[in-house]
């Protein structure tokens, strides 16, 4: 008997004996409709591809035939492939979201993943670099060339704002208001926010836009909207690999032993602001976080920080 098709919230879903695989595209479409980032959608898709492979090996094809025991067996399947606890839980969360969607669409009567336990692991200690290391990183850039002007401006903006990698790469010239020292950031879930740039970032951007960027472009500066460009005819804007190479290059020149990434500088920006007394609400808003709980991943207070704070506040005096 062929299954029936129904339209719900703009997503077509299959009801009946159709296989799990036929239901996945509707779920992924719903993620796009909700405005989830491409990275999140890709992660969900990867998790479901692994789940489909597991179901095929178990001889399970219908969503209605997936039981809590089968979901628990999938956890063992992932563990058996040498996956870390965090990665396993990420995959399982993708499958949980999928079955939550199917239950909401009335494709299944009961979500087999609802009562499955979630394993918690201690979060890793956030990696940051010190203020002196940040200065060494920035000073490692020679601004005698157009590329140097670009790289100095890029690093200044990254540290001053704490923006995410994708947000940094997506910046356009028209997103900047250098007179007001702010940048308009297009963040996760298509949420827009304005962040302050600071004097050093504004000065570096001014030099780059006036003297560096025009010399890197093969086209008229008004034709290309991307802020960060490279000297190539094939692709004018910087990509993720370019950015990683730039940060790694100057970290090595500065003699910084720690592995420095865009997220390292994002965490360092937040940590340095919080340790120096910035309002957590302001920092959370600047970083694009919906609530304060996310800041616990950025703030690492060591004993020297505690001594300095104690000395300034003089408790018990």
Q: Are residues 85 and 148 in the same domain?
A: no
Domain that residue 277 falls in: 131-313
pTM: 0.58
Q: What is the pLDDT of residues 190-227, one digit of tens each?
A: 788 888 998 999 999 999 999 999 998 876 656 788 99
Do 96 and 172 share a domain, yes or no?
no
Instruction: Tell me, yes or no, if 312 is annotated catalytic.
Output: no
Which among 263, 285, 297, 300 is annotated as catalytic?
263
**Same domain, yes or no: 143 and 92:** no
Is residue 89 domain-shared with residue 167, that is, in the same domain? no
User: Is 200 noted as a catalytic residue in this protein?
Assistant: no
How many structural domains compose the chain? Answer: 2
**Catalytic residue flag (residue 298):** yes
Which of 188, 193, 200, 297 is catalytic? The answer is 188
pLDDT of residue 280: 82
* 163 shares its domain with 278: yes
pLDDT tier for residue 83 given thresholds of 50, 70 and 90: confident
Indicate if 231 belongs to the active site. Answer: no
DSSP the chain: -PPEEEEETTEEEEESS-BGGGGHHHHHHHHHHTT--HHHHHHHHHHHHHHHHHHHHHT--BGGG--HHHHHHHHHHHHHTT--HHHHHHHHHHHHHHHHHHHHTTSSSS-TTTT------PPPPPP---HHHHHHHHHT---SSHHHHHHHHHHHHHHHH---HHHHHT-BGGGEETTTTEEEEE-GGG-EEEEE--HHHHHHHHHIIIIIHHHH-SS-TTT--BSSB-S-SS--B--HHHHHHHHHHHHHHTT--S---HHHHHHHHHHHHHHTT--HHHHHHHHT-SSGGGGGGT----HHHHHHHHHHH-TT-
pLDDT tens per residue across span 115-174: 887 776 655 555 888 999 999 999 999 999 999 999 999 999 999 999 999 999 999 999
CATH number of domain containing 222? 1.10.443.10
Both 219 and 136 in one domain: the answer is: yes
């Amino acid at each position: 008997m062929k299954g029936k098709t129904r339209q719900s919230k703009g997503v077509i879903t299959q009801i009946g004996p159709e296989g799990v695989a036929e239901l996945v595209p509707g779920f992924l479409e719903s993620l796009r409709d909700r405005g989830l980032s491409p990275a999140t959608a890709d992660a969900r898709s990867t998790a479901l591809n692994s789940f489909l492979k597991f179901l095929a090996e178990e001889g399970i094809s219908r969503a209605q035939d997936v039981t809590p025991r089968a979901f628990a067996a999938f956890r063992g399947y992932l563990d058996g492939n040498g996956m870390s606890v965090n990665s396993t839980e990420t995959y399982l969360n993708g499958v949980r979201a999928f079955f939550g969607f199917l239950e909401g669409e009335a494709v299944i009567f009961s979500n087999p993943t609802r009562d499955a336990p979630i394993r918690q692991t201690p979060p890793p200690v956030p990696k940051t670099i010190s203020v002196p290391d940040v200065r060494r990183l920035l000073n490692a850039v020679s601004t005698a060339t157009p590329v140097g002007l670009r790289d100095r401006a890029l690093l200044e903006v990254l540290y001053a704002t704490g923006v995410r990698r994708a947000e940094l790469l997506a910046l356009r010239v028209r997103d900047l208001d250098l007179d007001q020292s702010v940048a308009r950031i297009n963040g996760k879930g298509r949420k827009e926010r304005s962040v302050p740039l600071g004097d050093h970032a504004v000065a570096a951007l001014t030099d780059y836009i006036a003297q560096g960027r025009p010399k890197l472009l093969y086209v008229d500066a008004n034709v290309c909207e991307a802020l960060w460009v490279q000297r190539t005819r094939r692709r004018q804007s910087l990509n993720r690999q370019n950015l990683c190479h730039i940060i790694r290059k100057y970290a090595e020149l500065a003699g910084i032993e720690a592995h420095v990434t865009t997220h390292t500088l994002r965490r360092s920006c937040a940590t340095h602001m919080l340790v120096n007394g910035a309002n957590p609400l302001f920092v959370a808003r600047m970083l694009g976080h919906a609530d304060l709980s996310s800041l616990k991943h950025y703030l690492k207070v060591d004993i020297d920080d505690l001594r300095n704070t104690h000395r300034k506040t003089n408790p018990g005096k």
